[in-house]
Chains A and B, each alone.
Chain A
Amino acid sequence: GQQLNQSPQSMFIQEGEDVSMNCTSSSIFNTWLWYKQEPGEGPVLLIALYKAGELTSNGRLTAQFGITRKDSFLNISASIPSDVGIYFCAGQKYAGNMLTFGGGTRLMVKP
């Protein structure tokens, strides 16, 4: 089935560094979402994007909806240890449709 390609698969960074990850697809999505999953928990929605080119922030997190509607990007500035987790992108083709998830980016932050 359709899957989103998420990269990198994992990152090990120093506290204070900025982080960038992306999600690409061969087909168009009209909604892009970013979730974070902490160990032993389910994913939690971080940011939702509804319009091509849209740039949305949530604290130190900024996500962008690619203008081609086939990709999305998530940046985390000045990382801290509690940023550790798996970050998932998800796309939705149209309202009410099921979500398609990427494989996740595992982020590890060294204090």
Chain B
Amino acid sequence: NAGVTQTPKFQVLKTGQSMTLQCAQDMNHEYMSWYRQDPGMGLRLIHYSVGAGITDQGEVPNGYNVSRSTTEDFPLRLLSAAPSQTSVYFCASSPRQGRANEKLFFGSGTQLSVL
């Protein structure tokens, strides 16, 4: 079972470059989300989506864009990378709203360094 698949696993960018982190899930989950993980800060929500065509901002959305054209895919775009965006990024999905919402399935992460 693939679950939540993130690519790439590692990425190095120069300041000002743009890139897209890919996330795909094969569990037909309605809810998808992106988190960043920084030392001692836990996981902070960047953007989330409750279904195809619907996205919303999380706690730290600045500098990131998302779209949800299909149920399976939820890419995260960095428009102009900054060193402050150096982090480990996790995509997560869950079946639906309500009590199942918290049963997040995480991908294995993308380690991003911005020089």
Which A positions have Cβ atoms within 8 angstroms of B? Answer: 1, 3-4, 6, 9, 31, 33, 40-45, 48, 50, 88, 90, 92, 95-99, 101-104
Contact = CB atoms under 8 A, between A and B. Distances in A.
A88 B41 CA distance: 11
Contact of B108 (A31, A40, A92): A40
A42 B42 contact: no
Interface in B4-55: 4, 33, 35, 40-45, 48
Given A98-B58, A102-B42, A42 B106 contact: yes
Nearest to A95: B98
A56 B107 CA distance: 26
B101 interface: yes
The B interface is mostly helix, strand or loop, or mixed, namely mixed
Chain B interface size range: 20 to 34
A43 B43 contact: yes
Interface of B: 4, 33, 35, 40-45, 48, 58-60, 90, 92, 97-99, 101-104, 106-109
A101 B45 CA distance: 9
Contacts, number: 67
Contacts of A31: 99, 102
Nearest to B41: A103
Contacts of B44: 1, 101
B108 A95 contact: no
Nearest to B59: A1
A103 B42 contact: yes
